[in-house]
Amino acid sequence: MNLKRNSALLGAVAVGALTLAACGSDNNAGSVDVDASASAATCEGKENLSAAGSSAQKNAMDNFVSTYIAVCSEKGKTVNVAYNPSGSGDGRTQFIASQIDFAGSDSAIKAEQAGQAAERCAGNPAWNLPLVFGPVALAYNLEGVDDLVLDAETAAKIFNGTVNKWNDPAIAALNEGVELPDSNITPIVRSDSSGTTDNFQQYLETASKGAWTTGAGSDFTGGVGEGAKGSAGVAQAVNGSPGAITYVEKSFADQNGLSIARIDNGSGPVELNDETAGKAIDGAAFASTGGGDLTLDLSSIFGSTEEGSYPLVLATYEIVCSAGYDADTSAAVKSFLTSAANEGQNGLAEQGYVPLPDSFKQKLTESIEAIA
């Protein structure tokens, strides 16, 4: 959705995360209940796929691999996918170097790296296929205030220090009838480079009506706040600091018992849940104009004003060759991704991710099928 820890996106939005061991083993298969007859996965091609990259999608990938192993086992096939959550940048580098079959990344492969990937793919473009989405919460610790509303403009002012009191008129205007304390706001931000930070700042750039002027990037640019490392670190810091607020994947906010602000995207306050985050994904536009590449126009998500749409959602991609694999690798990549995009989505919500809406799943499946 670094979702650097770039991954955090989802980071884990369920990133659970800092584990660097490769996932995917036959030990996972027994615990997964699947209906293999309903799966479109062929389980053809080479038995062992390799991948690396975003740690944000690490827990989702565990789920995909376990499900795929179970499906293929019922079909009499032995398969495995070894995924190393080594970070998005490393995943892209390994993919370009032909060291892995596909990469996980919190950002699309582009510019010079896209050209290098095309060379690796025998002159064919690499495609960015968004497979894992995770919502980011504005999580806070404010005694007596369990239902807080913020918008992008006010959030930008909190994280650049322009608004520094909880009863500031900008916050009060969004929370009529709520008794807000006359106390300081303590923004907690990522001290490490993070895709969550990058996407949060892109959201502020897109939706804050010019209130965010310091740019995006994987390092926090707002100039205020206290730093903490990793998604777990910022969530724990807020939990221990009355008056604090942070941006963090929903699963970490839930784990620490933090309150989560509703976001007013211009059409009224929206609660963070699967339905509202899924609505934002369903309305996403694509930056690419044709072919099977599904690089997202993130402004279509971050800037959504659709009623009931939660706009702060991170995406992570699988980067694949559109063509140029050998036949066995192509068949295996297509089979695994087909399973991941369909039955592999079951159980993602419990891990803090957002399962793909049906219409988005259809677009993704068409691209997977088009891999040559």
Where in the chain does DSSP place strands (E)? 5-7, 48-53, 80-84, 102-105, 126-140, 149-151, 186-190, 226-228, 244-249, 259-260, 262-264, 269-270, 285-286, 296-297, 313-321
What is the tally of helices (H) and strands (E) in the chain?
13, 15
Give the model confidence (pLDDT) of 337-363 as tens digits.
Answer: 999 999 999 999 988 899 999 989 999
Domains and CATH numbers, the chain: 5-135+314-370 (3.40.190.10), 137-270 (3.40.190.10)
Q: What is the pTM of this model?
A: 0.81
Q: Are 59 and 12 in contact (CB under 8 A)?
A: yes
pLDDT band (50, 70, 90) for residue 31: low
Give the model confidence (pLDDT) of 215-259 as tens digits.
Answer: 998 899 999 999 999 888 999 999 999 999 999 988 889 989 999
Question: Nearest 5°: phi and psi at 115?
Answer: -65, -40
What is the reported pLDDT for 289? 63
What is the reported pLDDT for 68? 98
The Cα-based distances of 107 to 42, 111, 127, 244 in angstroms read 29, 12, 12, 29
The CA distance from 322 to 310, in Å, is: 32
Lowest mean pLDDT segment, chosen from 40-44, 131-135, 191-195, 284-288: 191-195
- Using the predicted structure, report yes or no on whether residue 370 has a pLDDT greater than 60: yes
What is the reported pLDDT for 231? 87
What is the reported pLDDT for 17? 33
**pLDDT higher for 351 or 312?**
312
Give the model confidence (pLDDT) of 13-22 as tens digits.
Answer: 333 333 333 3
Q: Write the CB contacts of 316 (distance below 8 Å, at least 6 apart in sequence).
A: 1, 3, 7, 9, 10, 54, 56, 57, 88, 104, 105, 106, 130, 131, 132, 133, 134
Give the model confidence (pLDDT) of 162-204 as tens digits.
Answer: 999 999 999 999 999 999 999 999 999 999 877 788 889 999 9
